[in-house]
């Protein structure tokens, strides 16, 4: 690299489709995005083999060998302890050391979050990181009428204090501003009622703080029904509740298909319509498969980590790389810090 491009470190190992799809995603990026450089971290032999059979621009790709990796089923802390040279940890270290600007991984989520936590630094004012997820909604958001909302935390911080929830709100709003180009995103707190006094003490306290926060367009509490509706651009909750909600959303796609089958079996006059719809329903299912859309950012660190879905194919990986680059060039971390 003569002039320094934005470099994205890709953990090539550990996704559901092995190194090939991640390498293909980076190859796409090398052809499409002249300002990006992909640093591929993983088994060098497998990477070279994949590159050999994939069209790419070799000037925008480099390879860093890592002799081990964390598999999907492994327990993150034990796996990282056993394998200090696991690809996700090597990649995170390269980002922490400034060799790359952001990390993308389609592997074990917990291992990725842990690798980030061990090598990146929390931003001043952030006590706990959050895994944010972009998910499809019924309403458009921002100027571009983007049909996606952001929900965080979805699993990095299982128990969040009121202060954590406030930090999540600031981080989510900054991400929506920068990545979704939504200049003034609405931010809501998930609770069991819209009234400010509803919910457990941490939620009630966070509501009070957020209501007086000058830098946020806080719209108060929302309820579960508002998640698929997309009432707010950014939905804030703790990692336990957010994880349950996100996985429910993932389950909805399948449920729609099954309910349609149930209806199919129940009433003759629906059958033609349903038969015609089968391909449509499959696509609806994909629409509810949030992680097709650029992956889930881990927010709160000085460096960005984008967790792509384990099932990601090349296009999803390339998108994750583009989102990471956008966050880097827009100085997302600084925007978060200023918001706190």
Q: Who contacts 306 (Cβ-Cβ below 8 Å, separation ≥6)?
A: 102, 103, 104, 105, 294, 295, 296, 297, 298, 320, 321, 323, 324, 327
Q: How many CB atoms lie within 10 A of CB 43?
A: 21
Interface of this chain with a copy of itself, residues 121 to 160, rule: CB under 8 A: 138, 147, 155, 158-159
By CB under 8 A, is residue 5 in contact with a copy of itself?
no
Least spacing, CB of residue 88 vs a copy of itself, in Å: 19
For 24-175, strand residue ranges (E) read 36-42, 61-65, 102-105, 130-141, 146-152
Interface of this chain with a copy of itself, residues 180 to 209, rule: CB under 8 A: 190-193, 199-200, 203
Given the complex with a copy of itself, which of 71 and 244 has the nearer CB atom?
244
Six token digits for residue 10:
């890709």
Least spacing, CB of residue 284 vs a copy of itself, in Å: 5
Q: Taking every pair of C-alpha atoms in the chain, what is the biggest distance, in angstroms?
A: 67
Q: 154 φ, ψ to 5°? A: -115, 20
Spatial distance between the Cα atoms of 76 and 14, rounded to a whole number of angstroms = 12
Given the complex with a copy of itself, which of 125 and 264 has the nearer CB atom?
264
**Distant-in-sequence contacts of 275-282, Cβ < 8 A, 24+ apart:** 281/256, 281/257, 282/257
Given the complex with a copy of itself, which of 154 and 317 has the nearer CB atom?
154
By CB under 8 A, is residue 283 in contact with a copy of itself?
yes
By CB under 8 A, is residue 268 in contact with a copy of itself?
no
The piece of 43-51, 84-92, 177-185, 277-285 that touches a copy of itself (CB under 8 A) is 277-285
Least spacing, CB of residue 194 vs a copy of itself, in Å: 11
Residues of this chain that interact with a copy of itself (CB under 8 A) are 138, 147, 155, 158-159, 190-193, 199-200, 203, 223-229, 237, 239-241, 243-252, 254-256, 258-260, 262-263, 267, 269-270, 272-277, 279-280, 283-284, 287-288
């Amino acid at each position: 690299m003569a002039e320094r491009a934005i470099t994205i470190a890709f953990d090539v190992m550990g996704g559901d489709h092995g190194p090939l799809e991640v390498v293909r995603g980076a190859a796409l990026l090398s052809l499409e995005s002249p300002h990006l450089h992909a640093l591929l971290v993983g088994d060098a032999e497998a990477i070279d083999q994949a590159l050999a059979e994939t069209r790419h621009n070799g000037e925008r790709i480099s390879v860093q060998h890592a002799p081990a990796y964390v598999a999907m089923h492994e327990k993150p802390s034990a796996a990282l302890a056993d394998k200090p040279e696991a690809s996700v940890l090597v990649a995170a270290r390269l980002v922490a050391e400034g060799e790359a600007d952001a990390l993308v991984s389609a592997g074990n989520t917990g291992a990725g979050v842990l690798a980030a936590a061990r090598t990146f630094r929390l931003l001043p004012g952030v006590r706990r990181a959050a895994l944010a997820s972009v998910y499809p909604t019924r309403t458009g958001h921002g100027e571009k009428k983007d049909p996606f909302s952001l929900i965080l935390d979805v699993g990095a911080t299982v128990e969040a204090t009121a202060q954590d929830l406030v930090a999540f709100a600031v981080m989510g709003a900054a991400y929506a501003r920068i990545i979704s180009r939504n200049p003034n995103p609405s931010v809501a707190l998930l609770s069991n009622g819209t009234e400010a006094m509803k919910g457990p003490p941490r939620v009630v306290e966070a509501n009070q703080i957020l209501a007086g926060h000058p830098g946020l367009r806080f719209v108060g509490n929302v309820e579960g029904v508002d998640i698929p509706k997309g009432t707010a651009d950014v939905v804030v909750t703790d990692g336990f509740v957010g994880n349950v909600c996100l996985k429910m959303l993932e389950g909805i796609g399948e449920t729609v298909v099954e309910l349609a089958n149930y209806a199919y079996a129940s009433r003759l006059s629906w059958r033609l319509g349903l038969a015609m719809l089968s391909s449509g329903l499959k696509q609806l299912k994909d629409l509810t498969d949030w992680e097709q859309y650029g992956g889930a950012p881990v927010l709160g660190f000085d460096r960005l980590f984008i967790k792509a879905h384990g099932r990601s194919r090349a296009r999803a990986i390339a998108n994750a790389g583009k989102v990471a680059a956008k966050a880097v060039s827009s100085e997302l971390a600084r925007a978060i810090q200023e918001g706190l």
